Amino acid sequence: MNIKLVESLLEVILALPPEERLLLEEKLFGNISYPSSNEIMHVAEKGKVFDFLHDEPELYSFQDAEPV
């Protein structure tokens, strides 16, 4: 790993004016897309990660709630 190169690049990036730094960030990270809430929910459902919750006891009931 070329630590000196990385540190030099970081110094140059931090020295950029805000407009140029923003342009660089757009070039580097502009194509990153994040999953939507629906996509995350779909993965959680299909991935079976939370299936263990079906076996958990119910801790609260409607009788535990206070009227609003």
- pLDDT tens per residue, range 7-59: 999 999 999 999 999 999 889 888 788 899 999 999 988 988 888 888 888 88
The Cα-based distances of 58 to 41, 45, 54 in angstroms read 22, 20, 10
pTM: 0.42
Domain ranges in the chain? 3-56
Q: Is the dihedral of CA 25, 27, 29, 33 positive or negative?
A: positive
